Copies of this chain bind each other. A is one copy, B any other.
Amino acid sequence: MKIAVLGTGGGARCHIAKLGELGHEVLVGTREPAVTLARTEPDMMGTPPLAGFLAEHPGAQLHTFGDAAAASDGVVINGIDGHNAVRALSAIADQLAGKTLIDYAVPFIYRHEPEHPWPTPWGIMPKLEPVDTDSLGERIQRALPRTKVVKSFVTQEQSTVVDPKSVGGGEHTMFVAGDHEDAKRQTVDLLTSYGWTDILDLGPLVSARGMEMYAHLHSAIGFGLGQRFGGHFGIKVVR
């Protein structure tokens, strides 16, 4: 299949690499391909330049966000950071019309003003916006009424989303939520191809609130386990 991945950060690269391994044609979207390819230094998160990554993953082709979305067969993975997602996706609403958009972003705001220190033992904990009575997933769906938004992947690091067996042999739970059953089925099929066996449907997209707000507990569990960055764990719903 032709699957689009919007974004070129560490999380997006996990999906690009895995989808390539699974034999898919991967359409990678970025704002300005020439600018992205010209970078020669790691970004602020320490992610190496994309050019080298693409050289190692010849099945992936770099396009603009809109061209990548338009060329996908139907599934688009949103790896654009939460702060910019609604604006960037709204700009390509036509190219996303009719597609399934799987969103895994946490709507973190990295403001470090003294009046909002948000200190935690593992560093500054970013604030969520929206939170509690709304979610980024719902905001994206409202901004893109012709697109079928599914929230998923968000409750753990993307390196473990694409390799569930690497954590406890795969004995953990992945969640999906969305207002479109066919889009959720596509997401479950994709997750199954990644190796997931316990996928729990949380119902409509309103459940994205809980999935995004879990980010704080995820960080705290990582701290509790002594894994300050890039936690290598999952949670299993025990019935």
Contact = CB atoms under 8 A, between A and B. Distances in A.
Contacts of A127: 132-133
A119, A128, A206, A217 pick with most chain B CB within 10 angstroms: A217
B235 A238 contact: yes
A200 to B, nearest CB: 5
Interface in A167-221: 167-168, 171-173, 175, 177, 200-204, 206-207, 209-211, 213-221
A120 interface: yes
A22 interface: no
Contacts of A235: 173, 235-238
A103 to B, nearest CB: 16
Contacts of A216: 132, 209-210, 213
Interface residues of A, number: 49
A214 B211 contact: no
Contact of A220 (B210, B223, B224, B236): B210
A225 B239 contact: yes
B121 A133 contact: no
A144 to B, nearest CB: 21
Nearest to A173: B235
A195 B43 CA distance: 47
Given A238-B234, A238-B235, A119 B223 contact: no
A170 to B, nearest CB: 9
7 contacts: A127-B132, A128-B132, A167-B239, A203-B220, A210-B220, A213-B216, A236-B238
Given A175-B217, A210-B215, 8 more contacts: A121-B204, A125-B209, A167-B239, A175-B221, A210-B217, A210-B219, A234-B237, A235-B235
